[in-house]
Amino acid sequence: MTKSMGGLRRFRMAMLAGAVALSPAAVQADQFINILTGGTSGVYYPIGVALSKIYGDGIEGARTQVQSTKASVENLNLLQQGKGEFAIALGDSVKMAWEGNEEAGFKAPLSKLRGIAAAYPNYIQIAASSEAGVKTLADLKGKSLSVGAAKSGTELNARAILAAAGMSYDDLAKTEYLPFAESVELLKNRQLDATLQSAGLGVASLKDLATSVPTTIVAVPADVVEKIGAPYIPATIPAGTYEGQTEDVPTAAVVNFFLTHEDVPEETVYQMTKLMFEHLPQLVAAHKAAEAISLETATQGMPLPLHPGAERYYREVGLIK
């Protein structure tokens, strides 16, 4: 009798365990989504915060976290190490990570990376204090310039722009490797002449700078952009983007991408992709740059394979046949 009861009890427990394992809530219960962004004064961070809420509310049982990082290069390396489930990064950095460009900060190809969607373009925005007299790229010679954190996506952009203009860091009086907000503080305190920031239009750091001191937005001519080539494209910073900017300013742009890695479950990535496109107004409310995120362009220019979860969503909505 006792043996029979014990067997029945074990059978019931096994059945219960099986039921729990198969339930959707249980599948998601242990899903942690760490969202890798950038500095808090940039665009990645507020978009990451908005996505954290969307995923926390929309994916049953998921726990979300937003991590402020040095942006693109660090984000990609962290994804490869499995230390994040969602990240934003610049297209040129993504391409170099997939190829394993050691000079850019990737010791080997980051083969675990997978794509979710094309995001919005980053605009190369060079801002100088008006008293520094920097009106063109050539005027940066002999001046001090902050180019973002070393080997960040912004810093890789800075190297590319200067090289296409026939310059290098050797032509500068001083090169600072600082985040956006710190660069602006040095400019306001007359300890820096200019800052190059790769971000969405209307980035908070440059808005702060332009409202604090007279500021010049320096042009990156189309011929310089063409010398670099893909994934850089000619773009325009519209007049009025920053206080005192009375004219359109030509520059370069590079598309950002939303990414994950191959070990994140297909269902999780499917939900992340679906919820993001179903809640685009919340991303736009977080930052105007998100207005450029579109389902129609979601797979354009992706420099690495899509995650099966994202691909599943795009097939469902007819974007991929």
DSSP codes joined into one string, 7-29: HHHHHHHHHHHHHHHHSHHHHHH
pLDDT value, residue 279 = 98
Looking at domain 122-254, what is its CATH homologous superfamily?
Answer: Periplasmic binding protein-like II (3.40.190.10)
What's the pLDDT tens digit per position in 134-182? 999 999 999 999 999 888 899 999 999 999 999 999 999 999 999 999 9
Q: How far is CA 260 from CA 76, 109, 117, in A?
A: 9, 15, 10
Phi, psi (degrees; rounded to nearest 5) at 87: -150, 160
8 Å CB contact between 298 and 258? no
Q: Which residue has the tokens 């925005």?
A: 125
Rounded distance between C-alpha atoms, residue 161 and residue 50, angstroms = 31
Write 148-152 long-range contacts (CB < 8 A, 24+).
148/71, 148/177, 148/178, 148/179, 148/180, 148/183, 148/196, 148/197, 148/198, 149/70, 149/71, 149/177, 149/178, 149/179, 150/177, 151/73, 151/104, 151/105, 152/70, 152/71, 152/72, 152/73, 152/74
What's the pLDDT tens digit per position in 81-92? 999 999 999 999
3-state SS, residue 296: helix
Rounded distance between C-alpha atoms, residue 243 and residue 260, angstroms = 37
pLDDT value, residue 11 = 40
Q: Which H or E run contains 226?
A: helix 222-228
Taking 50 as the pLDDT cut, the residues of the chain under it are 1-5, 8, 10-28
Rounded distance between C-alpha atoms, residue 260 and residue 310, angstroms = 10
pLDDT value, residue 151 = 82
pLDDT value, residue 311 = 98
Rounded distance between C-alpha atoms, residue 204 and residue 250, angstroms = 20
CATH code of domain 28-120+255-316 = 3.40.190.10
Contacts of 174 (CB under 8 A, 6+ apart): 144, 145
pLDDT value, residue 14 = 46
pLDDT value, residue 30 = 72
- Encoded amino acid at 128, one letter: A
For the chain, the C-alpha Rg in angstroms (whole number) is: 23
Phi, psi (degrees; rounded to nearest 5) at 193: -90, -40
Comparing 28-120+255-316 with 122-254, is the CATH topology the same? yes
> Which pTM value belongs to this model?
0.80
The DSSP code sequence of 139-190 is: GGTTSEEE--STTSHHHHHHHHHHHHTT--GGGSSEEE---HHHHHHHHHTT
Residue ranges of domains in the chain: 28-120+255-316, 122-254
The DSSP code sequence of 69-117 is: -S-HHHHHHHHHTTS-SEEEEEHHHHHHHHHT-GGGT-SS--TTEEEEE
pLDDT value, residue 149 = 87
Q: How far is CA 37 from CA 15, 161, 258, in A?
A: 42, 23, 10
- Encoded amino acid at 39, one letter: G
pLDDT value, residue 27 = 40
Rounded distance between C-alpha atoms, residue 129 and residue 217, angstroms = 9
